Amino acid sequence: MSTFQYTGRRLAAMVAATVIGGGGLVVAAPAAHAAEASDVVAKLPISSFSDLVVDSVHERVFVSDRAGYAHYGGTVVAYNFQGQKVGTFYTTSRASGLALSEDAGTLYVGQRSHVVAYDTQTLQETGRTGAYTDDCGRELAVTGTKSWHTTTPAYSDYHCDKSQTDLDSITDGLLARTGWNAVGKILLATGGGAPNRLFMGQAKGPNATDPFLTSFDTSGPTPVRGDARRFADAEGKGGLDPKDIAVSADGKHLAVADAAYGTRLLNSGDLTDAGVYQPLPAGATSTAVAFSGDGKYVARGASAAGSTPDLLIQPADPANGTTATEFAYEGELDGNRVVNRGLEWSKDGSRLFALTTNAYGNAFWLHVIQPPAAQYDSRFSGALTHTPAQAVVGEPVGIRGRLELDGPAPAEPAKVTAVRTTADGTRALAAAEVAADGTFTVLDVPDAVGSATYTLSFLGDITHRPAEDVSITVDVAKAPTSIALTAPQEASMSGGVEITGKLTAQGRALPAGVTLAVRRTDRLGTGSLSSVPVAADGTFTVNDMPRARRDVTYTVSYEGDDLHTGSNASATVYVTR
């Protein structure tokens, strides 16, 4: 029996995350009154994976287990939307692709020599249609009353990416070969707002180094091919390596999980580029992609090591700069990565179903993730201020402000990012955490004299939209220095005068080799003495043989440098014979 866990995790948009439990899911810690993005995890009783499909009408999730060689029996397991197993049925040969009828009353399961229909509620077989022999696992799709499947005969699994794959159809129980085929495996996708469109992608293989994408109009008696696209350049570089295809909720866009590129977003009509999602984290390889049924989100799955995120949930519109919610799977309670084609949403977008596997690909977990249902506005309120009032080079300056967030509080404290722009260029600063009352302080240590403009941003999170940037310009001055002298009250002309002192500087340390000017004023006039060196700790010593009796004043001066102001100090000594 499978293991059912309710983790109750609450997630926030994260750039860096904290590991819980040493080897589990990387998430943020819970926060009171936060908008939940909970993750329910079920360990599946399967040792291999073929396909995942979601029945939103009856709230069922079906997963097929290919279970060995093509002529061996397979397994299909069913779970509810709470992550609890509700049924299992077995197939007489390998269970491969899955597809639902439009009314969700029938689940179609691809097998070696048949496409078999099952009732989605009773899980009982309701019919089967003979199909051409398939040895590699079928892809299934449904448009209207027609079902589509691939057929790849091969001597062994090793030959699957070298053999010809045909696109076949079943209409009113009748099998037909469409005449469309390609070398290697083929991916199929339908859904969204394109009910009569069937999308096809060729998998990359030894005989398909520049795979294609295309689509078919399936409204007539035979499929009519639309635009097609390949991606390699004139030198043969940049070819597609598709692992999954997803159709947007409005049918206008197609997303491709491309292991060679990341996530491609295309216009579904002519397959031209439609926008760019930010790259997956470094070291992550794209494995899956899915649009939420309400059109708000896109989920992007990946295979990544360690704490690098394997799953990102973000707005479907790439122009929306909201930071993605990130999940990193790296433990035996959660799996290590999202499998190829391992993401599906419920039709209303309230739940994302993610399938993960371990490093060996022989254990699987079903994650039921509920992102927040709405996003709220955010804004910076009031003017930014800075402390201290006079910023100096090399000393900390705090940029203070307030961020207002509508709606529920985020799952973990929001963070404000900042950049500093000077004549020397722009530099990113460490993000500042926002307190419960909305206040924050961005800290910086200026490294140059002049004007510094600080631009602050809130990129948003899964609950809140980004805020409009705000800026403040700060005048950065040289860091002050000071000289302290210790001198005797009285000295003699014969014994000489010794004065000790210390040069102190704020900001950056003074450079090595600093010397101080010394001037002596007595009843005979004023003149310069030899300059004195300053030790590494700032100390120095002035020695002099006075030339006149009575009051003698010694003035020690530092002229300053590019980062420090000058300073001076004086001491008066009464000189006797």
- Give the rounded distance of the alpha carbon of 39 from its chain centre: 18
pLDDT of amino acid 348: 87
570: which residues sit within 8 A by CB, 6+ positions away? 485, 553, 554, 555, 556
Least confident of 21-35, 180-194, 454-468, 506-520: 21-35
Pairwise pLDDT comparison (552 vs 18), residue with the higher score: 552
User: Residue 399 above 60 pLDDT?
Assistant: yes
| Average pLDDT rounded to a whole number, residues 86-92 | 93
pLDDT, one tens digit per residue, over 270-297 is 999 999 999 999 999 999 999 999 898 9
User: Residue 538 above 90 pLDDT?
Assistant: yes
| Average pLDDT rounded to a whole number, residues 301-314 | 93
pLDDT of amino acid 373: 58
User: Do residues 577 and 549 touch, judged by C-beta distance below 8 A?
Assistant: yes
pLDDT of amino acid 68: 57
Q: Which two tokens stand for residue 146?
A: 């027609």
pLDDT class for 370, splitting at 50, 70, 90? confident
pLDDT of amino acid 70: 52
pLDDT of amino acid 291: 95
| Average pLDDT rounded to a whole number, residues 28-38 | 34
User: Residue 355 above 50 pLDDT?
Assistant: yes
Three-class secondary structure of residue 159 per DSSP:
helix
| Average pLDDT rounded to a whole number, residues 158-177 | 93
Pairwise pLDDT comparison (69 vs 440), residue with the higher score: 440
d(CA 224, CA 114): 25
**Which domains are seen in the chain, by residue range?**
3-370 (2.130.10.10), 378-477 (2.60.40.10), 481-576 (2.60.40.10)
User: Residue 331 above 60 pLDDT?
Assistant: yes
d(CA 205, CA 191): 27
Taking all residues of the chain, what is their mean pLDDT, rounded to a whole number?
A: 89
User: Do residues 253 and 292 touch, judged by C-beta distance below 8 A?
Assistant: no
pLDDT of amino acid 372: 60
Work out the percent of the chain whose per-residue pLDDT is above 70.
92
| Average pLDDT rounded to a whole number, residues 342-355 | 93
Q: Which two tokens stand for residue 312?
A: 């990102």
- CA-based radius of gyration for the chain: 35
| Average pLDDT rounded to a whole number, residues 191-207 | 90
User: Residue 7 above 50 pLDDT?
Assistant: no
Query: Cβ–Cβ contacts within 10 Å for residue 509, how many?
Result: 11
User: Residue 507 above 60 pLDDT?
Assistant: yes
User: Do residues 417 and 457 touch, judged by C-beta distance below 8 A?
Assistant: yes
Least confident of 13-27, 65-79, 170-184, 332-346: 13-27
pLDDT of amino acid 41: 93
d(CA 67, CA 137): 11
pLDDT of amino acid 113: 94
d(CA 1, CA 4): 9
pLDDT class for 158, splitting at 50, 70, 90? confident
User: Residue 12 above 60 pLDDT?
Assistant: no
User: Which residues partner with 551 through β-bridges?
Assistant: 574
Q: Tokens 């090399």 correspond to what residue?
A: 394
pLDDT class for 21, splitting at 50, 70, 90? very low
Amino acid, res. 547: R
pLDDT of amino acid 403: 97
72: which residues sit within 8 A by CB, 6+ positions away? 93, 94
User: Residue 60 above 70 pLDDT?
Assistant: yes
Three-class secondary structure of residue 471 per DSSP:
strand
Three-class secondary structure of residue 158 per DSSP:
helix
- pTM beyond cutoff 0.85: no
pLDDT class for 23, splitting at 50, 70, 90? very low
Q: Which two tokens stand for residue 254?
A: 């197609």
| Average pLDDT rounded to a whole number, residues 59-84 | 86
| Average pLDDT rounded to a whole number, residues 472-480 | 97
User: Residue 240 above 50 pLDDT?
Assistant: yes
User: Which residues partner with 6 through β-bridges?
Assistant: 40
pLDDT class for 203, splitting at 50, 70, 90? very high
Work out the percent of the chain whose per-residue pLDDT is above 90.
77
